[in-house]
Structure 1
Amino acid sequence: MLLFETLLQSLLVPDCKATLTRSDDGHPAFQLSTGGTVILEPSTVMFDDAEPEDAPGVVDLGPALRRIHDFLARFPIRVEDSGIVAVFTLHAPTDKPLWSDEGLRATVRQQSSKGEQTFAGSEAKDLLLIDRATLARDDWRALLDAFDERTAEWAGALECVFPEHAALVRPVPVAPTVEATLPPDEGWDDYAASLGIDDPEALAARVARHAEAAYARFPSVRDHYEATYGLKLPRGLAYLSALFAALGELPEDPPEHYIACQPGRSRSHAWTDSALGMRLSGLSEWFLPDALQRKTKDAARLHDEDQVPPGAEGPLDPRLDMRYRRDAPQFVTFLSGNSDGKHWGFWYDSPDHFPVIASNYARDSAETWLAEEPEIADFLRATFDDALRESLEHLDDDGESEENLRFYRNQLRALRVIQAHLDALDTFDAEQPPEDEPLCPWPRTERNPVGSPRLALRPDTGPVPDKVPGFSFLHSEDPDTDTLKTYIAEARRELAEGRPAYAHALGLYLHWCDDDALRDEAGSLLLHAYEALGFRPFAAILKVHLLHRDLASVGVFED
C-alpha cells in the first residue's frame, strides 16, 4: 500500500503526517499527526477528533478515496502459470502526477521468473489506472468484481498479459465525429456543396462505385501479391484504395494547397497529405491501372554501374519496392508519410497468418512500431482522430501565428472531407461478406529487439536472452562489434540445438543496426533463423534485400 500512502500524504497539509490503521469496524483508517483519526467508510469519510482543514484533499475526494484504497489493496498481484511466476507491482509515476483531474496514475511493473531464473521485466509508464468518471460510477462493486475475475484468468494466459492490463477499466477510444468536436465552420455547407459531398446519398453512391471497383480488383491483386511475396494480403487494402480513388475524383484540391493537382492520384494525394500526412506508396499502388503489369528498373540504374553486386544484374526484384535500408524482411510498405521517411506497412509475425499494421521513420531512428489497430479501416480512423486532435490543440494555442492558424483551419476542412468519405466507405464495407483473416496467435515477447516491435514467437522456439539489446531495461547503448560476434556465436549454438528464437531476435537487431563490419554474419544469422522457423518468404525477401541494400532509391518500378 505504499502508493496509497504516497497519495494520502499529498492530500494533507504540509506539516501533517498520516499513519495507516483500521477502525474498530474494520474500515481502512489513518491517524493524523495533528490529532484524530480519519475513517474511510464505503459511502462517507468520517473525521473522528480530526480537523478536516488538515486533510483538504481527503475532503475533496470524499468516498472516492475509499474506492482508490480498495483497488490499490489488490496489488501486488502474483500470477503463476506453467511454473512461471509473474508479479505486477505499482510505483509512483515519473512524468505525470499521481492524482490529477484525469484520475489516478502509476507506473506498473511486471517481473517474471521461473525457479531461480529471472526474466526481463516490462512496465507501463504513467498508466491511467482509474479515471475520475470510473470512480463515480454506480456499479463500482461490479467493476472490482470484474477486475478480480480478469486477474484470476491471467493464470491461464500469462503470455498474453502485459502491465497495461492492470488498469481497472481499459478505456475504449471513441472516435470523435466531425460535427461533435470541430468548431463551427460557417462556410462549410457551401464548401461541401462545391465539392458535391453535401448530399449523403449521392456521396455514398459515388464512393460505392469506387469501392466496388477496388473490391472487385482485390482478388487479382491478392493473387499477384501471394505469387510475388508468398504472404497473405488483407482485404483492407481495397478499402484504402477506394478512399484514394474517391478523393481523386473531387472537383478541386484542398484549401490553399501548395500546388495545383490533376484529378486522380495526384489530387487524392493532395487531400490525404493535407489531412492525414499520408499518400499512396508500395502495395497501395497495386490497385492503379496497369500496376500489376509494371516492369522494374534495371539494377544498373540504381547501383553505380561498376558496383552492381555479382548475380544482381538485370531487372530488380519487385519486393525491393519501398523497402528502406533498415526495414525488416517482415515489413512490407503500403503508405508513405510526409516527413523523415515515414512509411506504414504490414508487419508479418508469420507467413501463415495475416499481418498487423506498423510504421517506421526511415530517416530518423528507423525503428518499427506496431499500431494499436491491426486493420486498415480502424487504423485510418485512429489516424484521423490523431490529426483532428492535433489541429484542435494548435487552434486553441494563443501563441500560434496567423499563418499557422490558417494552415490548421484548412486542415480541419480537409479532415471533414476525409470523414465524410470514411463514413460512406464504412457503410459499403459493412455490407460485404466478412473475410476470415486470422492474426498470428503466438504470444508476444515482453520486450523487443531494438529496431523491431515485440515479437510473436512460436512457444517451442526457445528463449531470447536479456543480452539482446532491447530485451533488458539495462540496455543503454549498442554493444561493440566483438561483443556482438560473441552473441552471434551463442545464437548459432542455440539455432543448432533447435532453438531459433535467439537468432531471430538478434538477427533482426543486427539487420536494423546495419553495421558494415558484421554485414555478412548478421545477414547469414537472420537468414538461417528464418529457414529454421520455416519462414521461407521472409528468407527470400532478406536475400534480395541483402543483395541490393545499397540501392540509391526505394522506388524500383519504371515510371
Structure 2
Amino acid sequence: MISRDRALDTMNERFPLVAERVRQIWGMRLPRHVAVFAALAASDGRALGENDISPWGVTDYFADGGLDLVGRDGLDPRLHARFRCDPAEFVTVMGGGSDGLHFGLWFDDPAELPALIVHNYARDSAETWESARPSLLTVVRELVDRQLADYGDDPQTVGSITPLIEAVEWYTAADEAALRADGLPRPVATPRSYLAMSLLPQLPPGSGDPQADESGIRLDIFRNDPARTARWIAEAGRELAAGRPALALAVGSELHWLDRPEHRQAGLDLLVGAYRALGRDALAEIAAVHAAHRDLASVQVLVRR
C-alpha cells in the first residue's frame, strides 16, 4: 500500500491514459471519480477487501502495469467483468463480493458521461438496480453505512468498517472536486422508464413508447407463450422500422436478460437495431460481442501479457 497523497497523485496522472483506453475500446467517456476510487484501492485496499469491495472491470487499468492488460485468448476486452445478463449500458468498475455483486457505470448514451452508478447480483436474480449516489466513493460509503446499520452492535464489524470510513472521509474532498470537474449530468426532458429487471436508458423525444408498464407481463409471456412472444417481437420490429426504437430496446433488453436460446437472435436483432437507430453504435457493438461470448466460463478476461 502507498500513502493516500501519493495514491491520489498517481491515479490522477494515470486517468488520461486510462480514459483514452476506455474511449478507444469501449467508445465511452470515463468520469474522473473513478480515479479517486482507484486511489482509495491503492492506499486502503486492505480495508476495502475486509468489507468485500474491490476494484474490478475497467478500474483494473489503473493498477501498476494495468495498461498492459489484454484480453485472454484473444477475447475482446469489453467482455471483462461482463456477466451474461448485464445490459450493454453497464460497464463494471467495482466488485462487491457475495452472489456476483458488481457495480458499474450506466451509459444512457456513450457520447455522454455515465448518468448513474448501478449494481447487479449476477449469481442471484441478476436484475440491474440504480444507486442514488453519484460516485464510486459515495457508493462505498453507502455500503459501509448499511453494514453499520445492520451490524453496528458487533465489535468485529465495527473494527473492519471504521478504517474504511476514515479513508473514505479523507478522499471526500478529492471526490467532490472530480464530480465538479466533470459537471452535472445533462438534464433530461422525460422521466426515466423502468423494466421489470432493469432501468432503461433515457431516450430522445420521438423514440416511441417502450411500454415499460407491460414489462412484467411480457417476461411472463416470453417464458410461457410462444405465439404471443412472436407478436411482441413483431410489434417491436415494426416500431423500429417506423423510426421508433423504444419498444425494440425494451423487448430486446428483456429477451437478453431472459436468455432463452430460441429468442437470442431476435432479441439481439432488436437491441442492435435500436442502438443503431439511436446513434449509439458503441452499445450496439457491445451487445453483439457479448451475444457471441455469453457462455464464457469466466468473465475475468483481462490478463497480463
Shared fold (TM-score greater than 0.5)?
yes
| Aligned residues of 1:274 and 1:411 also touching (Cα < 8 A) | no
Per the TM alignment, residue 494 of structure 1 is displaced from its structure 2 partner at its CA by 0.8
Distance change >3 Å, CA 208–CA 429, structure 1 → 2: farther
Which residue of structure 2 aligns with residue 380 of structure 1? 140
> Partners of 1:538 and 1:239 in 2: how far apart?
26
* Whole-angstrom CA distance in 1 between matches of 2:219 and 2:69: 45
Residues 74-93 of structure 1 aligned to structure 2 (within 5 Å): none
- Per the alignment, in what secondary structure is the counterpart of residue 483 of structure 1? helix
Q: Which of the numbers 292, 305, 314 marks the counterpart of 2:67?
A: 292
Query: Cα distance 1:278–1:290, how it changes in 2: closer, same or farther (>3 A)?
Result: same
Which whole-Å CA distance do the structure 2 matches of 1:466 and 1:225 have between them? 31
1:343 match: secondary structure: strand
**CA 1:443–1:375: 2 relative to 1, 3 Å:** farther
Matched, 1:273 2:49: yes
Map Cα deviations across residues 108-157 of structure 1 (whole Å, 9 max, x no partner): xxxxxxxxxxxxxxxxxxxxxxxxxxxxxxxxxxxxxxxxxxxxxxxxxx
Q: Residue type matched to 1:271 in 2? A: A
| Structure 1 residue 332 displacement after superposition | 0.6
Q: Distance in 2 between matches of 1:412 and 1:514?
A: 41
Aligned to 1:413: 159
Which residue matches 1:534?
A: 279
| Structure holding more helix per residue | 2
Q: Which residue of 251, 269, 272 corresponds with 1:506?
A: 251
Larger radius of gyration: 1
Task: Say if 1:331 and 1:216 are closer, same or farther in 2 by CA, change over 3 A.
Answer: same
* CA distance in 1 between partners of 2:279 and 2:183 (Å): 20
What is the deviation of 1:381? 2.1
CA positional deviation for 1:454: 4.4
Distance across 1 between alignment mates of 2:207 and 2:193 = 16
Aligned to 1:207: 4
1:546 and 2:291 matched: yes
Q: State the 1:414 CA deviation.
A: 1.9
Q: What do the CA deviations read for 1:390-443 (whole angstroms, capped 9, x no partner)?
A: 122xx2xxxxxxxxxxxx322211211112111221244556794134425335
Deviation at 1:510, TM superposition (A): 0.9
Provide closer, same or farther for how the CA distance between residues 446 and 420 of structure 1 changes in structure 2, counting only shifts above 3 A. closer
Which stretch shows the higher mean deviation, 460-469 or 441-450? Answer: 441-450
Contact 1:208 1:424 (8 Å CA) reproduced:
no
Q: CA deviation at 1:227?
A: 0.7
Given residue 425 of structure 1, which amino acid in structure 2 is its aligned partner?
Y
User: How far apart in 2 are the matches of 1:538 and 1:375?
Assistant: 22
Higher relative CO (Cα under 8 Å, sequence separation at least 6) belongs to: 2
Look up the match of 2:101: 342
CA–CA distance in 1 between the matches of 2:136 and 2:167? 15
For 1:369, what is the secondary structure of its paired residue? strand
For residues 446 and 430 of structure 1, what CA distance do their matches in structure 2 show?
A: 25
8 Å CA contact 1:333, 1:346 repeated in 2? yes
Matches within 5 A, 1:108-187: none
- Which structure shows the bigger proportion of residues in strand conformation? 1
Counterparts of 1:514 and 1:430, CA distance in 2: 39
Q: 1:368 to 1:443 in 2, by over 3 A?
A: farther
Whether the 8 Å contact between 1:440 and 1:456 is mirrored in structure 2 is no
List alignment gaps of at least 5 residues for structure 2: none
Cα-Cα RMSD: 2.3
The 2-side partners of 1:448 and 1:431 are apart by 31
* Rounded Cα–Cα distance in structure 2 between residues aligned with 1:211 and 1:337: 22
The structure-2 alpha-carbon separation of the partners of 1:476 and 1:430, relative to structure 1 and needing over 3 Å to count, comes to closer
Q: Does 1:217 align with 2:14?
A: yes
Taking structure 1 as reference, are residues 492 and 440 closer, same or farther at Cα in structure 2, changes over 3 Å only? farther
Q: Does structure 1 retain, via aligned residues, the 8 Å contact 2:27–2:110? A: yes
SS in 2 for 1:477: helix
Compared CA separation, residues 445 and 511, structure 1 to 2 (3 A): farther
Measured after TM superposition, the shift of residue 493 of structure 1 is 0.7
Classify 1:216/1:381 alpha carbon distance in 2 versus 1 (closer, same or farther; 3 Å). same
Q: Residues 352 and 476 of structure 1: is their aligned pair in 2 closer, same or farther, counting only changes over 3 Å?
A: closer
Report if aligned partners of 1:351, 1:537 keep a CA contact under 8 Å in 2. yes
| Contact 1:353 1:438 survives alignment (8 Å) | no
- Partners of 1:428 and 1:496 lie apart in 2 by 47
Give the Cα–Cα distance (whole angstroms) in 1 for the partners of residues 253 and 228 of structure 2: 16
- Counterpart for residue 453 of structure 1: 199
Q: Which residue of 1 aligns with 2:150?
A: 390
Distance 1:279 1:489 in 2: 43
Contact 2:59 / 2:94 at 8 angstroms: preserved in 1?
yes
Aligned residues: 301
Is 1:477 the counterpart of 2:223? The answer is: no
Residue identity matched to 1:515: R
Gaps in structure 1 of 5+ consecutive residues: 1-194, 196-204, 248-267, 299-314, 396-407
The one-letter code sitting in structure 2 at the alignment partner of 1:232 is: R
The change in CA–CA distance for 1:281 and 1:431 in structure 2 (over 3 A counts) is closer
Q: Which runs of 4+ in 1 moved over 4 A?
A: 428-433, 443-447
1:227 aligned to which of 6, 20, 24? 24
Letter in 2 for 1:439: P
For residues 537 and 288 of structure 1, do their structure 2 counterparts lie closer, same or farther at Cα, with a shift above 3 Å needed?
Answer: same
Contact map agreement 2:207 2:246 (CA 8 A) in 1: yes
TM-score (norm 1): 0.51
Alignment match, 2:79: 320
Shift in Å, 1:279: 1.4
